[in-house]
Chains A and B, each alone.
Chain A
């Protein structure tokens, strides 16, 4: 029963973070929200008896993807003609 309540809470959190990722004006906040979706998903994988997928999602989906997004945002900010 406690697992069911946790999964429902995590799913609601994922949906909220998805709306933040789509509608927030600041791009950096949106990227971090998409990373939080991946982190919540890795907890769900752990409940669904898939520890391999949980490790992969936590290390690739929520760390390396966010890092690549930030490198590209940094390059775009660096090449901005208005500054």
Chain B
């Protein structure tokens, strides 16, 4: 019985391998950009003013995708909070008390790592990086905060407020683009400025900072929900 099952699995895997091998046989590397990418490369720096073309694609040309993605992350954090709801209402953490070294190192490191995260998402239109990366670094700061300093004092209130306000501002800036410029999430509601300076590219730095705050708050909410255990333990 077990041999039969394993042989069926092997046949299935062999079929999959054959299919992927055919895909690889037809694959040929490219040496020119296609039309869409050529449009982004030629018109993108003048239309959006952002030096990082990935940022201009993510925030302006395909900004609606980003809005949907942030919504998916919000739904994930809400569903995790719903599924892990404790029965008797009390929440406590599963961690032991942290040592003196941990607390001192965390007090030294948390401001620096937060500063790096903020730098990454403010400079998202000039250098590699942006809202998602900066938000992830803010969330890893939150992990460090959670395992070192305050084990029971961190509330949902701050995270919920940050997440709600940044999401609301994101949508409001998008609607302002409809009123003042060409369409939803258009970045020309502010002037594009000098190419390559910090205050350039219209609304892209503002939108990417809001995305960074929202992603950081959502990932932190997921980690906070997973950190708490049911109250009847211990």
Give the interface of A toward B (CB within 8 A).
Answer: 51-52, 54-56, 59-60, 63-64, 67-68, 71-72, 74-75, 78-79
Contact = CB atoms under 8 A, between A and B. Distances in A.
Given A52-B52, A68-B222, A59 B137 contact: yes
A74 B140 CA distance: 18
Interface in B145-199: none
Interface of B: 52, 54-55, 94, 120, 128-130, 132-133, 136-137, 139-140, 143, 219, 222-223, 226-227, 229-230, 233
22 contacts: A52-B52, A52-B54, A52-B55, A52-B128, A54-B128, A55-B128, A55-B129, A55-B133, A59-B136, A59-B137, A60-B132, A60-B136, A64-B219, A64-B223, A67-B143, A67-B223, A71-B227, A75-B94, A75-B226, A78-B94, A78-B233, A79-B233
Contacts of A51: 128
Contacts of A52: 52, 54-55, 128-130, 133
Given A52-B128, A56-B132, A59-B133, 17 more contacts: A51-B128, A52-B55, A52-B130, A52-B133, A54-B128, A55-B129, A56-B133, A60-B136, A63-B136, A64-B136, A64-B223, A67-B223, A68-B223, A74-B94, A75-B226, A79-B229, A79-B233
